Structure 1
């Protein structure tokens, strides 16, 4: 018996494929058919069966109901500041995985904005004004966050990541952790006057690199930027890199450290050991350290190439720690801002308990544990 055809809207299929950056050949491979068959679905000459439709929906990360809409959804284009993977060069297109994660982040941000409006307690985030130089902007942001460099240098690299994330969340910024393919982007940001969002990819990246990504994306938010940045060598990307490095490694502290402990005023092109020691001191990645030294005229670009060509940086072994129960995993994924707003909306009767569970992907018991943990964090 032939599979029953599902009479989808071909225009919606074409739109969803374009949004996901998926070609006919790629979708054909995902659905286990041939490009000609996909072409017949796209032009309306034929329709997929139910099993095929489910595979299409899964591949494009869309609900099956979407494909039965009478017209293409009206939707704002993806507008993000986008940070490429390490080592990428030139322009590249967003992958379907990256596009799907950006859409999901946008939905969560909209939910958070809605919740903030309902509870009427979350004030719009007042980001510092972006100044002309990355150096002066970094100093301004440190003051805004009441950042203590002494706390930073006493902390492990993973602890510095948590300090940066929590300091920004205390200001109302929404920070989420993604687990995309290791070849995917390192992070992106979506500006909003109410709740700006930063997302960073945790897969195959050491803690210090995540810290750098969060601060890099903050640099984009300071300019209220909403354009897709897929040219890793452009001036805006370099500015944000310099800002992140200046935040993590203040010049006076670095000079004093080099004089007292390294006994040098300039780092040689192959001196990866000095890079490692500075990295451990400030909880900054090797590449961040090299960029900062170069920016201050304390090293040449050969040092950056030496660091990039020898990926020796690894996180230290983790000892102890809490069992990673569901509510702790959700806190790591969603941060504090998003669940805190949803829980506040629920407690004020603005959001049904079932919806809060759905948006946070937890059951009733896990939701209460999440609320208790967030209260302890405040």
Structure 2
């Protein structure tokens, strides 16, 4: 005896999860209906306790994209255990009339980063391995000598200064990516969100263990290297924080102490004192100024921005701080505010890898390659729809 159906069988989504995801995203029934191109009553029906009709796979994937949630989450029997996040402490020292920390955009980026970490922990479980953990000897406090801490960190990630200096133009652009991969290799998830810059945020750190998180925005490559160093310092002092530019005065004293230590660590990490003093003849008393040509030449040698180099030279008393704050700082701020990046990469694998980083990408590909997760699961972990893009990402990853 055969049984015929008038409609193709649809997946069994949990309507409670559909409703929860929509509300978490702050999207109305009307907005969903407009986006998915159905009637508002149909969306409400999908969310009823015992719906008569479920969304198609295509419609459900559109919902996942709209709600910014993994498609597979809709199949859960219970609601995901993702409470409203405790927002990251704001360590920016300037005052604003509207705090971006409380905005929907910042909450979205933070939730996304925390979800990626949960995914990474799940992937480690899938492949039967323990997550990487940062060597305990690297952890510091703001009372520690930042020069020594930076030296230990460079040694731990196996990135000697002579591998960084005196590079070609192309080689200098690769420095942030190399530092990022070295940091990831000791158990730090490093993500990039270009929309972070809209919030006047250089980066943030979520100092949890295992797999602490660093998220950076879009900056000039040489400036990005400094931001990576600053957020890496936050990881090492185990201080979760949202970071931005540091004004000359003002702000909470304890936060200023943390931010200044992290800046000094980043400077020492990228421009070790001994190497810099070998390159320049240091005066007994600070110079009133440094020529643009000399500053730029020194910055190029170390593969950092002129801005980062001048900060370091002020720290080491090569040049007076007034020259930085009164003359060059306003110029640097203007130049950096006008930076628009190099445009979007034409190759999907490159774009994905830039956003997710090698640690996360490698976990997805390892679980997929070993048969622990399916093609569709791999695509969901990566946050993409087209399986062909997963293959492209795998090929790009293998090619280095």
Q: Shorter-chain TM-score: what band?
A: 0.7 to 0.9
Aligned length: 326
Q: Are 1:82 and 1:230, in contact at CA under 8 Å, matched by a contact in 2?
A: no
Of 124, 140, 151 in structure 2, the residue corresponding to residue 130 of structure 1 is 140
SS of equivalent residue, structure 1 residue 335 = helix
Q: TM-score, normalised by structure 1?
A: 0.73
How much does 1:207 deviate?
A: 0.8
**How far apart, CA to CA, are the structure 1 residues paired with 2:163 and 2:244?**
34
Change (3 A) 1:83 1:176: farther
**How far apart, CA to CA, are the structure 2 residues paired with 1:78 and 1:61?**
20
Q: Are 1:78 and 1:103, in contact at CA under 8 Å, matched by a contact in 2?
A: no
SS of equivalent residue, structure 2 residue 280 = helix
Change (3 A) 1:310 1:273: farther
SS of equivalent residue, structure 1 residue 176 = strand
Indicate the larger mover: 147-156 or 304-313: 304-313
Change (3 A) 1:346 1:72: closer
Of 170, 173, 177 in structure 2, the residue corresponding to residue 158 of structure 1 is 173
**How far apart, CA to CA, are the structure 2 residues paired with 1:267 and 1:280?**
21
The aligned runs of 1:65-76 (5 Å cut-off) are 75=83
Q: Are 2:205 and 2:241, in contact at CA under 8 Å, matched by a contact in 1?
A: no
How much does 1:324 deviate?
A: 2.9
Q: Are 1:174 and 1:337, in contact at CA under 8 Å, matched by a contact in 2?
A: yes
Matched, 1:201 2:205: no
How much does 1:183 deviate?
A: 3.6
Q: Which residue of 2 aligns with 1:180?
A: 195
Matched, 1:212 2:226: yes
Q: Which residue of 2 aligns with 1:247?
A: 269
How much does 1:98 deviate?
A: 2.0
Deviation track 1:135-184 (CA, whole Å, cap 9, x = no partner) reads 11101101101222112113343121122112112223221111116442
Matched, 1:327 2:349: yes
How much does 1:336 deviate?
A: 0.7
Change (3 A) 1:220 1:49: closer
**How far apart, CA to CA, are the structure 2 residues paired with 1:175 and 1:280?**
25
The aligned runs of 1:1-378 (5 Å cut-off) are 50-51=30-31, 75=83, 77-78=85-86, 80=88, 84=92, 89-90=94-95, 92-94=99-101, 95-127=103-135, 128-130=138-140, 132-155=144-167, 156-180=171-195, 182-184=197-199, 185-202=201-218, 205-227=219-241, 232=246, 234-259=256-281, 266-269=286-289, 271-305=291-325, 306-311=327-332, 324-360=346-382, 361=384, 363-377=386-400
How much does 1:215 deviate?
A: 1.0
Q: TM-score, normalised by structure 2?
A: 0.69
Once superposed, what is the RMSD of the aligned Cα atoms?
Answer: 4.0
Q: Are 2:205 and 2:242, in contact at CA under 8 Å, matched by a contact in 1?
A: no
**How far apart, CA to CA, are the structure 2 residues paired with 1:141 and 1:358?**
34
Indicate the larger mover: 275-284 or 305-314: 305-314
Change (3 A) 1:336 1:123: same
**How far apart, CA to CA, are the structure 2 residues paired with 1:235 and 1:62?**
37
**How far apart, CA to CA, are the structure 2 residues paired with 1:229 and 1:263?**
33
Q: Which residue of 1 aligns with 2:12?
A: none
Change (3 A) 1:324 1:49: closer
Q: Which residue of 2 aligns with 1:27?
A: none
Q: Which residue of 2 aligns with 1:39?
A: none
